[in-house]
Structure 1
Amino acid sequence: MRHVRMTILAALLAGVAAPAFANDAASCATVRYSGPGWTDIAATNGIAAVLFEALGYTPDIATLSVPVGYEALKNGQTDMFLGNWLPAQQKFREDLDANGGIEELVQNLSGAKFTLAVNKPGADAGVMDFADLDAHKDAFDGKIYGIEPGAPANQSIQAMIDADEFGLGDWTLVESGEQAMLAQVGRNETAGTPSVFLAWAPHPMNEAIDITYLSGGDAYFGPDFGGATIHTLARSEWVETCPNAAKFLRQLVFDVPMENILMGKILNDGLAPTEAAVEWIAENPERLGPWLEGVTTLSGEPGLDAVMAAVAE
């Protein structure tokens, strides 16, 4: 199996022109970025970390809530961010744009979605739309399960409750982390109890739970069930100082099936994000060529060659 991977990687390497020597400053050796504790961002952060490390950089990943993470980027405490969900995080993006000094490197994912959903008992009760919820308040115990405090999606839910939209004025938002939310939904699923909760793709929850995404929430989550794109942001000064690292990030794009698999390795198989990334890269070496075209190691050696050697270990 290793021989097959090495043969594919060697072919990829042969097809990529020898890059110019890296001209990243010494200060670029450590790449600082953050994640809010969501598994999808942990997965993509893990891919970036493994590849940065193979290229001779040191990834420094902080776990910060969404608002704190944006402040860290704005204030220069981090260099880049792989998890700018739009439109859910539009107000944070507008704040960064108004402040200046931050630029978008690439849209790294399309086809994502993010809105309220119900489990099978909820769908069986006839809940298909936001407007259906209040008639079944008792079955749902009047609770909407959200993610960590401060998340924009939670703020949207609370705004609905405060405005008594869809008759939800006497409902309660239960804030917790992603894992705690899904654990509760799983317990309710086993007990046959309806749940309404934040759901999104990519995520292996879509395989583990019989999910029905609710229509009718366009005003709060956007059209197409909260259809979203995810973007990579970086400090303009960092991009100028670290063009090689920035080039790599401009080319680092993902897709929903890939992220579902990566997240499953983390959530279901118990792998750390970097372990999941190493395993996925070894299984999908053909993805390395486009990501690393024209990218070098920090010391100026061909980047794909360095990653090939790291994967083979």
Structure 2
Amino acid sequence: MRRIHRTLFAVLFAAAAALAAAGCAGGGGGSASGGELTLGTIGWTENVAVSNLTKVLLEEELGYEKVELQTLDLGPLFKGVATGDLDAFQDVWLPNNRNYLNEVEEDVELLKPWYKGETKYGIAALDYMNIDSLTELERAGTNEIVGIEPGASFHPQIRNVVFKEYGLENFKLVESSTAAMLAAVEEASSNKEPILFLAWSPHWMNEVYDIVYLKDPKDAQGKFNDSSRITTVVNEDLSDEEPVAYAFLKAVSLNEEQLNSLELEIKRAGQDEPVKGVKNWLEKNRDVVRPWVQAAKEARQ
């Protein structure tokens, strides 16, 4: 079971709502939801976008007092959802994250994919470098591949398989963060300098930079080279204890254009202002989220 205080809060909240409804002529029924939620995040750009969008809508449209976003590495994220310390994590890439999911699958529920586009993932360069394959890395002009957060599923594949298959003993993977990787790409692009980095789509970087996803004739990138599904994992008790949030998370659906435009609004608002970016995006995209909010309202008890 998840943390006891959350269950107690839900019971007390429902009782209070019922009393309030009984004392008001023509009042509607109460809800077992509406307290606090904690969403796990990894800091990846699509995760920042969808989790902050979820936060804004749950708080402003569905009456939640507070939706906290807690940033962790992948392993702790999956474990946190399993134990109930986190209610959900909305950036599960499958099959990439299958090993993490396998460790906790008895204590979580995997929802259907919320991203409706086709993903890309892999080692990339910028077009002015004039390379298009991993076989050409020796003439890339750099022997570093800029990665993202430590714990990213693809990192061991690069170190243990890609480097070996392509004879890249003098290459190294530099772990950093998504923000640091993007800053490195921006600097390299501005100065037309060589850079190798971990890229993926959906992401606004594909709209801003001329990215070349490098061919992999030896299939050393394995499953990471395949199109993935992006979905949400929730604690096994969420549907019973927070039916409104659960229904909302199940209803979330974004295509490539919608997600890229949301990410760009957040980027324009500034790195520390994701909520502002979400609200700017919502001014023109209320029709996109209306079905999600309606599904959540219908789940009220």
TM-score by length of 1: 0.79
* Distance in 1 of aligned mates of 2:292 and 2:222: 31
Q: How far did 1:38 drift?
A: 1.4
Paired position in structure 2 for 1:9: none
* Distance in 2 of aligned mates of 1:281 and 1:260: 14
Letter in 1 for 2:128: P
Paired position in structure 1 for 2:45: 39
* Distance in 2 of aligned mates of 1:63 and 1:173: 23
Greater relative contact order (Cα 8 A, min sep 6): structure 1 or 2?
1
Partner of residue 128 from structure 1, selected from 126, 132, 136: 132
Q: How far did 1:21 drift?
A: 4.8
Contact 1:120 1:189 in 2 (8 A): no
Contact 1:106 1:232 in 2 (8 A): yes
* Distance in 2 of aligned mates of 1:48 and 1:119: 33
Partner of residue 104 from structure 2, selected from 96, 111, 124: 96
Paired position in structure 1 for 2:57: 51
SS at match of 2:114: strand
Paired position in structure 2 for 1:276: 277
Q: How far did 1:296 drift?
A: 2.1
Gaps of 5+ in 1: 1-19, 301-313
Paired position in structure 1 for 2:25: none
Paired position in structure 2 for 1:246: 246
Q: Single out whichever of 180-189 and 265-274 deviates more from structure 2.
A: 265-274
Partner of residue 112 from structure 1, selected from 99, 107, 119: 119
Q: How far did 1:269 drift?
A: 3.6
Contact 1:67 1:151 in 2 (8 A): no
Q: Would you say 1:158 and 2:159 are equivalent positions? A: yes
Closer, same or farther in 2 for the Cα pair 1:166/1:60, shift >3 Å?
same
Q: How does 1:1-313 map to 2 (within 5 A)?
A: 21=29, 23-24=31-32, 29-54=35-60, 55-57=62-64, 58-97=66-105, 100-110=106-116, 111-122=118-129, 124=130, 127-134=131-138, 136=139, 139-140=141-142, 142-160=143-161, 164-216=164-216, 218-222=219-223, 225-270=225-270, 272-296=273-297
Contact 2:125 2:196 in 1 (8 A): yes
SS at match of 2:85: coil
Contact 2:83 2:235 in 1 (8 A): no
Q: How far did 1:22 drift?
A: 5.9
Among all aligned residue pairs of Structure 1 and Structure 2, give the percentage whose two residues are the same amino acid: 28
Deviations 1:194-237 (A, max 9, x none): 211111111111122110111217442537x4422101111111
Aligned Cα RMSD in Å?
2.3
Contact 2:132 2:214 in 1 (8 A): yes
Q: Single out whichever of 208-217 and 81-90 deviates more from structure 2.
A: 208-217
Letter in 1 for 2:44: W
SS at match of 1:91: helix
- Paired residue total: 269
* Distance in 1 of aligned mates of 2:221 and 2:148: 16
Closer, same or farther in 2 for the Cα pair 1:291/1:298, shift >3 Å?
closer
Letter in 2 for 1:64: L
SS at match of 1:144: strand
Paired position in structure 2 for 1:17: none
Contact 2:83 2:107 in 1 (8 A): no
Deviations 1:79-101 (A, max 9, x none): 1111101122121122222xx12
TM-score by length of 2: 0.82
Letter in 1 for 2:42: P
Q: How far did 1:293 drift?
A: 2.7
Closer, same or farther in 2 for the Cα pair 1:297/1:280, shift >3 Å?
farther
Letter in 1 for 2:137: L
Show structure 1 runs of 4+ deviating over 6 A: 297-300
Gaps of 5+ in 2: 1-27
Q: How far did 1:104 drift?
A: 1.4
